[in-house]
Amino acid sequence: MKKIVNVGIIGFGTVGSGVAKILLSKGKLLEQRSGISLCIKKICDKDFRRKRPVNVPKSLLTKNINDILNDRSIDIVVELMGGIHPAKEVVANAIANGKHVVTANKALLANHGREIFDAAHKKNVFIGFEASVGGGIPIIKALREGLIANKVNAIYGIVNGTSNFVLTRMMDDDLSFSQALRLAQDKGLAERNPRLDIEGIDSAHKLAILALLGFGVNAKPKNIYTEGIKNIDLADIQYGKKWGYALKLLAIAKLVGGKLELRVHPTFIPSRHILANVTGEDNAIFIKGDLIGEALLFGKGAGSFPAASAVISDLVDISRNVDEFSRKVKAEKVYFSGNVKGIEKIENLNTRYYCRLLAIDKPGVLAKISSVFAKKEISIANAYQIERKRGQAVPIVLMTHEAREGSIRRAMEEINKLSFIAKKTVCIRIER
Amino acid sequence: MKKIVNVGIIGFGTVGSGVAKILLSKGKLLEQRSGISLCIKKICDKDFRRKRPVNVPKSLLTKNINDILNDRSIDIVVELMGGIHPAKEVVANAIANGKHVVTANKALLANHGREIFDAAHKKNVFIGFEASVGGGIPIIKALREGLIANKVNAIYGIVNGTSNFVLTRMMDDDLSFSQALRLAQDKGLAERNPRLDIEGIDSAHKLAILALLGFGVNAKPKNIYTEGIKNIDLADIQYGKKWGYALKLLAIAKLVGGKLELRVHPTFIPSRHILANVTGEDNAIFIKGDLIGEALLFGKGAGSFPAASAVISDLVDISRNVDEFSRKVKAEKVYFSGNVKGIEKIENLNTRYYCRLLAIDKPGVLAKISSVFAKKEISIANAYQIERKRGQAVPIVLMTHEAREGSIRRAMEEINKLSFIAKKTVCIRIER
């Protein structure tokens, strides 16, 4: 006996048409594998004139969202509109109407995840959001189910494919940032307005969702320290590479002394680190747990089919709990408050730093710089003056031992004021 | 209202004591996260004199397996005895008694997986076996649930931590095979009798399980081409490294022309390949699916707590379906037969090869070798004679373009018979 579950899709764009295509073409396979027949009841969008890569019977299409929200036969609403409004209201409405919800909307969940999860729990409906982080990578499932016995100590990785593509092209092909970005745009990997990706905002959204799941911390994106890649200079990537480091935009959530570090920024990692070999548009996320040690999940972080793969996995999981006769299965809480004592200030971060100074080449320069660092109790691991051009500005690259971010910032302020410093110093954090 | 699920553990060794320790110490956490109270009803072993890293009330211990199998209050049997007999009979008995089963037993599932899964499906009980492949890595869950919408095209990776540790130490520290193996034994990473690990048998077991899940192919280990690492010479690792390759013991399941390649063997991969950075005892498994492209899961492949983490994830998943009043939830089929037209013969493999010949250094040697390759339609991509010692045996290393394994084998037979060849030629497959 097969179970029929009715689905309404709201938003018929890249991911929505991928979901429709798979449900229509792979329905038999899914039914064989899960015993569930996922039936598209309605698809809603503002505009159906644009050509989609899937042929859908006209009778399924509607421009009226209420055709889905008020259809009592629809069990699960798939929200793929993106953006916060009106997606938030649509999801709230679906939940209020007792419908399960699957969404890929990271901006929505990053900003309003907790209230949505709470509302769903109260209404005893399930929320699936595998596609909101890491595209087709089953990272949400791993965190919620596969690693359920673990106390999570850290979650970190590459969660934005566009930035990773740009940094990879800079590192491998010696392109400038703007050249690499243009290439990404030509390939359709970056939007015309690439702000969300290159300024780290998209990564911060995903980190907020992971922080809620892994640590029970309701960190809105605005509370996450976020630095993008748009000011990255090719020279720094090249120097780093020379000394065995790769530059990656990392999203990091790490428990330190009971508080949660939450930060998104360009980071140097050793070139033998697994994340260093995560290139192009790929994503990869590490989870550190008390039982498993370190685990990593890697894959395509975006794209129609990877995201649709995640949406359908959610649909099947939820359908297993949809009972036509009763609703016996209790929808579980999505997140659990841990004992985290709040979000740590970025000033209290302790890590190593790469600094590139541009200084007039004259005797005593390094001594002066070193003394500023020493005063702030920052110890220098190594320093290189790249070339000699007496009387002219030359780059000096140095790496510190572990130091406090606050100290580094104050040291930089002082150093940037020194008469022989020709340009604002570049600082990049290093992780092991 | 919390749900109480009773568990019987059979086998109180490394993993069994890890499971008991976590259930006793993290019961509250698991209950908070899942709403389920996992209660150890009995623990069975032959011998309780050995000291375990967990204190268990004496009343829970039994030497009589029937105290678990016949206890009607026990919902889930955790089989952690290892080995095929009597584990097979124990599992069959548990299923026959209507109990769900969680097992970490890869040898058992590799050899009798299909019949066990079929028996369980018929009895409508669940089988959890996350810990049987990849330790704490949620690879089974990813394959069965997270990627349910995907047609799987390939599964490959490093699934034996012991061999990977040995190869890593050879590559990084220039140790010989026997030195590296001794180190692994000293660290408790290899058994006194390391046969299962270093001969690739353990990897073949895991590959058989993955092949059944991913492709519906019931490949017993004896049908899997298996080559271990015990004959690997440090020289080959060093030559490979010089030309940008890392040597890994890979387990590979790959659909090619409708047939399934199934093979375990030492493999050169480019040093920028993600698997090249999977070092030490770590495991990592790639899954290629039609929707997600390539995904990878990485983590600790063995150890008490990683394996116990997987066992507990299975316990929670199954418990969600344990209903105290009725058994409404239908246990799903574990595997699905695809359209695979059988297992491909190793002779039909097409890949690139690394060959190291030991040949007397005299004019015409390379010409003769090349002509043997040419006759078998194998084209040589590059060849190096490492040193010159006129009249003495010197190594010649060459790499082929893609060639058929059968041709390579026949070429090797001919070459090894040549008068100037001093030793049997070494051949190692290369994957990209």
Cβ contact, residue pair B274, A272, below 8 Å: no
Q: What is the model's pLDDT at position B357? A: 96
Helix, strand, coil shares of chain B, percent, nearest 5, are 40, 25, 35
Q: What percent of chain A has pLDDT over 90?
A: 92
Q: Residues 128-187, chain B: which have Cβ within 8 Å of A? A: 130, 135-138, 141-142, 145-151
Q: What percent of chain A has pLDDT over 70?
A: 98
Task: Count CB neighbours of A235 within 10 A.
Answer: 14
Q: Is the pLDDT of residue A131 over 70?
A: yes
pTM equals 0.95
Q: Is the pLDDT of residue A324 over 60?
A: no
Q: How confident is the model at residue A333 (pLDDT cuts 50, 70, 90)?
A: confident
Chain B residues in contact with A274 by the CB 8 A cut-off are 274, 277-278, 298
For A346, what's the count of Cα atoms within 13 Å in the CB-facing half-sphere? 13
Q: What is the model's pLDDT at position B339? A: 85
Closest C-alpha to A129, from A320, A313, A301, A304:
A313
User: Catalytic residue numbers of A?
Assistant: 206
Q: What is the model's pLDDT at position B331? A: 73
Please tell me whether the peptide bond between B363 and the residue prior to it is cis, using omega within 30 degrees of 0.
no
Q: How confident is the model at residue A320 (pLDDT cuts 50, 70, 90)?
A: confident
Helix (H, G, I), strand (E, B) or coil at B273: coil
- pLDDT per 10-residue tile (average), chain B, 432 residues: 89 97 96 93 96 95 98 97 97 97 98 97 95 96 96 98 98 98 95 96 98 95 97 97 96 97 98 94 97 97 95 95 59 82 97 97 94 97 89 95 98 97 97 92
Q: Residues 283-342, chain A: which have Cβ within 8 Å of B? A: 284, 289-300, 303, 305-306, 308-310, 312-313, 316-317, 320, 323, 328-330, 332-333, 336
Our CA-based measurement puts residue A235 at a distance from the nearest CA of chain B, in whole angstroms, of 22
CB of A216 within 8 Å of any CB in chain B? no
Q: What is the model's pLDDT at position A239? A: 96
CB B312 within 8 A of CB B102: no
The residue among A335 and A358 whose pLDDT is bigger is A358
Cβ contact, residue pair A292, B306, below 8 Å: yes
Which whole-number Å values give the CA distances from A171 to A240, A374, B97, B359, B431, in the listed order? Answer: 10, 32, 60, 42, 25
Among residues B88, B99, B206, B376, the one annotated as catalytic is B206
Cβ contact, residue pair A306, B291, below 8 Å: yes
Residue A318: Cβ-neighbour burial (10 angstroms; 0-12, 13-18, 19+):
buried
Chain B residues in contact with A142 by the CB 8 A cut-off are 138, 141-142, 146
Residue B364: Cβ-neighbour burial (10 angstroms; 0-12, 13-18, 19+):
exposed
Closest C-alpha to B26, from B403, B427, B316, B258:
B316
Chain B residues in contact with A19 by the CB 8 A cut-off are none
Mutation target to probe the A interface, by most A beta carbons within 10 A, among B151, B277, B321, B334 is B277
pLDDT tens-place string over residues A162-173: 999 999 999 999
Q: What is the model's pLDDT at position B333? A: 82
Q: What is the model's pLDDT at position A223? A: 95
DSSP for A53-81 reads: SS---GGGEES-THHHHT-TT--EEEE--
Q: What is the model's pLDDT at position B1? A: 55
For B81, what's the count of Cα atoms within 13 Å in the CB-facing half-sphere? 22
Cβ contact, residue pair A291, B305, below 8 Å: yes
Q: Is the pLDDT of residue A325 over 70?
A: no
pLDDT tens-place string over residues A134-151: 999 999 999 999 999 999
Chains A–B, number of C-beta pairs less than 8 Å apart: 185
Give the single-character DSSP code of B343. Answer: B
Cβ contact, residue pair B336, A33, below 8 Å: yes
CB A147 within 8 A of CB B309: yes
Q: What is the model's pLDDT at position A327? A: 47
CB of A26 within 8 Å of any CB in chain B? yes
Helix (H, G, I), strand (E, B) or coil at A362: coil
The residue among A321 and A36 whose pLDDT is bigger is A36
Chain B residues in contact with A338 by the CB 8 A cut-off are none
Chain B residues in contact with A36 by the CB 8 A cut-off are none
Helix (H) or strand (E) holding B92: helix B87-96
Provide CB contacts within 8 A for A317, sequence distance 6+: A126, A128, A141, B145
CB of A96 within 8 Å of any CB in chain B? no
Nearest to A291 among B136, B277, B295 (CB): B136
Q: What is the model's pLDDT at position A1? A: 55
